[in-house]
Chain A
Amino acid sequence: EAGVVQSPRYKIIEKKQPVAFWCNPISGHNTLYWYRQNLGQGPELLIRYENEEAVDDSQLPKDRFSAERLKGVDSTLKIQPAELGDSAVYLCASSFRQGRGEQYFGPGTRLTVT
């Protein structure tokens, strides 16, 4: 069974440019998460979806970040415009349902903003 797929794996952009990350969760997983991991830190949740509904976006910087999961399957996270401090690894995870189910992570997208 395929794991969580993310693309691109690496992205280098100049500040003020837009960038988008894509995630395809494990088939059948209703819950999808986007995390940001800064260097030397653990992942921090940005947004959590239950099917197509964002049930927790309290940590998402809404002035420049947006996300969508239109059909309740794959998802896109966008930053516009990017800032130097956005350099991080962006991880997508999925689980069968919200709650105690373990989360399965994709390999992440390493973003470098210059």
Chain B
Amino acid sequence: DQQVKQNSPSLSVQEGRISILNCDYTNSMFDYFLWYKKYPAEGPTFLISISSIKDKNEDGRFTVFLNKSAKHLSLHIVPSQPGDSAVYFCAASPAQGNQGGKLIFGQGTELSVKP
């Protein structure tokens, strides 16, 4: 049972335009969400996170939006650059307790930014 889903395996965007990557989750116990970026032959690197008490978090060109009622989050990249081309993973973490810190990852979305 896939608790975190990224339904788009790939996305292609023109340089300078907005990239929107989507993620859905099913477990209402998740209260912290993260996005990781992964280049080929490298490990995932942390990009941005959001707590369930917020609905938006912004860091430079990257903004994450959280809609708890819809159990949906999205990552916006504006403006997109060719160097943003990578696989993006959404991850969710349960509330504190013995599961605190455990990350459940989605399948990933491969973003391609065309010059």
Interchain CB contact under 8 A, B43 and A45 = no
Q: Which residues of B contact A55 (CB under 8 A)?
A: 98
0/1 string, A31-66, CB within 8 A of B gives 1: 100000000111111001000000110000000000
Chain A residues with CB under 8 A of B100: 98-100
Knowing A42-B107, A102-B49 touch, does A93 contact B43 (C-beta < 8 A)?
yes
A3 CB, min distance to chain B CBs, angstroms:
8
Q: Tell me, yes or no, whether B79 is within 8 Å of chain A by CB.
A: no
Whether A40 lies near B98 (C-beta < 8 A) is no
The size of the chain A interface, using a CB distance under 8 A, is: 25
Contact B101 A43 (CB under 8 A): no
B96 within 8 Å of A (CB atoms): yes
Q: Does B89 contact A105, Cβ atoms closer than 8 Å? A: no
Q: Are B105 and A43 in contact (CB under 8 A)?
A: yes
| A103 and B98 in contact, given A4-B43, A42-B108, A93-B43 (Cβ under 8 angstroms) | no
Complex A-B: 30 CB contacts under 8 Å: A4-B43, A40-B9, A40-B107, A41-B107, A42-B4, A42-B91, A42-B108, A43-B44, A43-B89, A43-B103, A48-B102, A55-B98, A56-B98, A56-B99, A91-B43, A93-B43, A95-B101, A98-B100, A99-B96, A99-B100, A99-B101, A100-B32, A102-B34, A103-B103, A104-B46, A105-B43, A105-B44, A106-B43, A107-B42, A108-B42
Chain A residues within CB distance 8 Å of chain B: 4, 31, 40-45, 48, 55-56, 91, 93, 95, 98-108
Q: Which chain B residues have a beta carbon within 8 Å of chain A's beta carbons?
A: 4, 9, 32, 34, 36, 41-46, 49, 89, 91, 93, 96, 98-103, 105-108
